[in-house]
Structure 1
Amino acid sequence: MPHEDVVRPRRKGIYILPNLFTLAALFGGFYAIVMAMNQRFELAAIGIFCAMVLDSLDGRVARMTNTQSTFGEQMDSLSDMVSFGAAPALIMYEWALQGLGKLGWIAAFVYCAGAALRLARFNTNITVVDKRFFQGLPSPAAAALVVGFIWVMDDLGYRGASRIDWLTWSAFALTLYAGLTMVTNVPFYSFKDVSFRRSVPFIVVVAIALAFALIAYHPPAVLFALFVVYGFSGYGVYAFRKAKGKPVSVIAVSTDEPDEQGLHR
């Protein structure tokens, strides 16, 4: 019988560039946990904020270089769970909550479970959610609330909160707030409709430069303040839309309604 060459299907590779950013974000979360175990909470907070920056870049890099993949999406979700779910919960428990006994680890678990549920819901609802808004507080912003509070307090000289009642209970309340707000239906602005390819007035560039200067002046306080405003902004949006009689859900029910113009894009 004549020999026939068998054409084997080509194995699919993995795009290296966007996944490098994802792995770097994962390293930021892992680094933060290790630093918290060594009582270096300011470095733990910096690790989480670096992971946030890297996480915001991997998807953009993938779209810009046309290297999106299912593997990359799954890798990104797993990285987010570590960096913005498990890591902030463990850091907060190590910093403040372990002194509360069962209440402490329950609060940390509520945050961790909230992050997992929020990520799972985001992945399943991605095609039916208004792109202009997040459904619930995004996990990176929730992580910024939790570790930002630790960073500010550490900067003020509080190396731990387990023996300071008001600080411990403040950390407890903030952890529960962040965890539960992630699984609400409250709309948080996503900034996804902001285009960086459009021309803007010169004053906008000046404002951005001033914002960078302000952050550089005192990163812990400024970054925490920004995320506190954002972390409560969703309830303001919810109340405003409710008062105006507009739909408050960000889940699509129709593609023809003007109030749902950001859906299915």
Structure 2
Amino acid sequence: MNDLIPVQDEDDGDDAHAARRPRRKGVYILPNLFTLAALFGGFYAIVMAMNGHYVLSCYGVFCAMVLDSLDGRVARMTNTQSAFGAEMDSLSDMVSFGAAPALIVYEWALKGLGKAGWGIAFFYCACAALRLARFNTNLAVVDKRYFQGLPSPAAAALVIGFIWVVVDTSNTDVNGDLVLAWAAAATTFYAGVTMVVNVPFYSFKDLSLKRSVPFIVIVLIALAIGIINLYPARMIFAIFCMYGVSGYFVYAYKRAKGRPVSAIALSTDEPDEVGLHR
């Protein structure tokens, strides 16, 4: 009779128990390493500004910009996108492109303006938070070809680029120069406002690096790299200044032609459609 009774193997019981046990959720290492490195760049910039090393602060923010542009691409290339990574990226952006530029420009120039100085610095920081929150909530309905308002890394580049140019070209004590201090305040205020306006800024997301281009394009890119290398602070700041006003020109052009000007698509089903809200 014992031969008729099935005997369960102990290993089979362990395997069944392991199958019923829910798997622990983890996070992808590679894209989040880039995000953490970008976060470190922003934190490093703040620490350097506290110690009066403003050029190093500029380097920290611009390095964070490069790393921030890579983490999403790395995630898509390696198929490691996740909700955790998206939230981590937003928090990193808030530190590197929201809090860091506001604190650096306050320490560098706005401190001498009293309450107006820290008020403008806070306004920029708040606009960065609002811009990131709006970006996250409107992600499914915004035309992918355009950003809704100036992206926070470009806004940070305007503020930090202004600091870099002044520090690179002179040793002026900005806290004792009201003209430069108010110029820094105006730049910070402009960057903050432009982040939250409903103006379309080209995102460059429809550019494909896999397409072939004429040989002259590579020559022009090499020439541009050489020119930027001669005057890095002024050239990089000039590039971001042109981008920082480009959205208003696009808005004015579309408005003059009677075309829709908002970056919000007409429906959530086709976020890349040509027609946009007015």
Larger deviation: 203-212 or 104-113? 203-212
Distance across 2 between alignment mates of 1:74 and 1:160? 39
The amino acid across from 2:94 in the alignment is M
Aligned pair 1:177/2:190, yes or no?
yes
Aligned pair 1:120/2:139, yes or no?
no
User: Within 5 Å, which residues of 2 pair with 1:35-184?
Assistant: 35-184=48-197
Aligned partner of 1:225 among 238, 243, 256: 238
Larger deviation: 214-223 or 76-85? 214-223
TM-score, structure 2 normalization: 0.90
**SS of 1:199 mapped into structure 2:** coil
Q: Which runs of 4+ in 1 moved over 6 A?
A: none
Conservation of the 8 A alpha-carbon contact between 1:154 and 1:160: no
Aligned pair 1:216/2:225, yes or no?
no
Aligned partner of 2:40 among 13, 21, 27: 27
- Post-superposition CA distance 1:194-220 (Å, at most 9, x none): 011111111111111112112211210
User: Within 5 Å, which residues of 2 pair with 1:183-262?
Assistant: 183-254=196-267, 260-261=273-274
- Residue 261 of structure 1 and its aligned partner are, at CA, apart by 3.0
- Residue 256 of structure 1 and its aligned partner are, at CA, apart by 9.5
Aligned residues: 261
- Post-superposition CA distance 1:50-82 (Å, at most 9, x none): 100000000000000111111110110000000
- Post-superposition CA distance 1:147-200 (Å, at most 9, x none): 000000001123541110110110111111101110000111100000111111
TM-score, structure 1 normalization: 0.94
**SS of 1:162 mapped into structure 2:** helix
Conservation of the 8 A alpha-carbon contact between 1:130 and 1:262: no
Distance across 2 between alignment mates of 1:231 and 1:192? 17
Structure 2 unaligned residues grouped into runs of 5+: 1-7
- Residue 255 of structure 1 and its aligned partner are, at CA, apart by 7.4
**SS of 1:48 mapped into structure 2:** helix
Structure 1 residues 17 and 166: CA distance shift in structure 2, 3 A: same
Structure 1 residues 36 and 76: CA distance shift in structure 2, 3 A: same
**SS of 1:182 mapped into structure 2:** helix
- Residue 260 of structure 1 and its aligned partner are, at CA, apart by 3.2
Q: For the pair shown, which has the larger CA radius of gyration, 1 or 2?
A: 2
Superposition RMSD on alpha carbons, in Å?
A: 1.8
Distance across 2 between alignment mates of 1:8 and 1:118? 41
- Post-superposition CA distance 1:13-46 (Å, at most 9, x none): 2111111110110010001001101111011001
Conservation of the 8 A alpha-carbon contact between 2:141 and 2:267: no
Conservation of the 8 A alpha-carbon contact between 1:132 and 1:262: no
The amino acid across from 2:151 in the alignment is P
Structure 1 unaligned residues grouped into runs of 5+: none
The amino acid across from 2:205 in the alignment is K
Distance across 2 between alignment mates of 1:10 and 1:190? 38
- Post-superposition CA distance 1:222-257 (Å, at most 9, x none): 100000000011100100000010001110124799
Distance across 2 between alignment mates of 1:40 and 1:239? 40
Structure 1 residues 262 and 84: CA distance shift in structure 2, 3 A: farther
Conservation of the 8 A alpha-carbon contact between 2:266 and 2:275: no
Distance across 2 between alignment mates of 1:256 and 1:66? 23
Q: Percent identity at matched positions?
A: 71
- Residue 12 of structure 1 and its aligned partner are, at CA, apart by 1.9
